[in-house]
Amino acid sequence: MTYVLSRNLWEVARPHMESLVSRTHESSSIAQLDGSDIVYVARVAVPKNIALAMTIGTRFAAMPTSLGKVLLAALPPAESSRVLAEPSRSGITARWQPSEAERAATLREVRARGWSLTDEQLAPGIRSIAAPLRDGEGAVIAALNVTVHAAETSVEVLTGQYLPLLLQTAGAISADWASCQAAPQVTVPQPVSPQPAPQPIALP
């Protein structure tokens, strides 16, 4: 189901992501939560020399990423604590190793403002913002981000100029996804194979 969702979501999101990248000249990705990690399921990239390679299927610990913060904040506090207790399978050690109290405070802030920021918490030079993607019921199904090089783009530019574009794009993708969900699903009946005619029974 996650694979099907990610494929369909990419089809809906792609034109919006391409527009966002053309306006910001920065890379944009979509990720979903898998245990205590995020996994990239869609990406429109521009050439940037950053510390970590990011492609479809890339896995990072969720908490140090903007995408992960958004996805974790969408969970009830008890559930996010349970998820974060699971070991990461990313193989990358993040720079930021928050305490349980720091994690809780960060997720409360993300829930309150509706978006998240990561400033070189995952790796040097990586700065990003993320916003949730929702279905027609309002549930968070994924997260969308804009990633910049910290040496090129300040937090002020990221949150002042790119954040409004990100939120607008996330809203448009969510609306299109909800419309796809609401569209009537037509079931095409399968043709029935003709049954062979009964053979006459020879009487003795």
pLDDT tens digits for 108-160?
Answer: 999 999 999 999 999 999 999 999 999 999 999 999 999 999 999 999 999 99
**Residue written as tokens 């199904």?**
141
Number of helices (H) and strands (E) in the chain: give both, helices first.
6, 6
Nearby residues of 139 by Cβ (< 8 Å), 6 or more positions away:
74
Nearby residues of 18 by Cβ (< 8 Å), 6 or more positions away:
44
Angle between helical axes of 77-84 and 100-113 (0-180°, round to 10)? 130
Decide if 129 contacts 115 (C-beta within 8 A).
yes
The confidence score (pLDDT) of residue 55 equals 85
Write out the two tokens for 49: 């020399």
Q: Which of 38-52, 68-82, 109-123, 162-176 has the lowest mean pLDDT?
A: 38-52
Euclidean distance between CA atoms 176 and 66, whole angstroms? 23
Q: Which secondary-structure segment (H or E) carries 143?
A: strand 140-149
The confidence score (pLDDT) of residue 39 equals 95
> Across residues 87-94, what is the average pLDDT?
91
pLDDT at 1 over 50: no
Q: Is the pTM above the cut of 0.75?
A: yes
Angle between helical axes of 66-73 and 77-84 (0-180°, round to 10)? 130
Q: How would you class 164 by CB atoms within 10 Å of its CB: exposed for 0-12, middle for 13-18, buried for 19 or more?
A: exposed
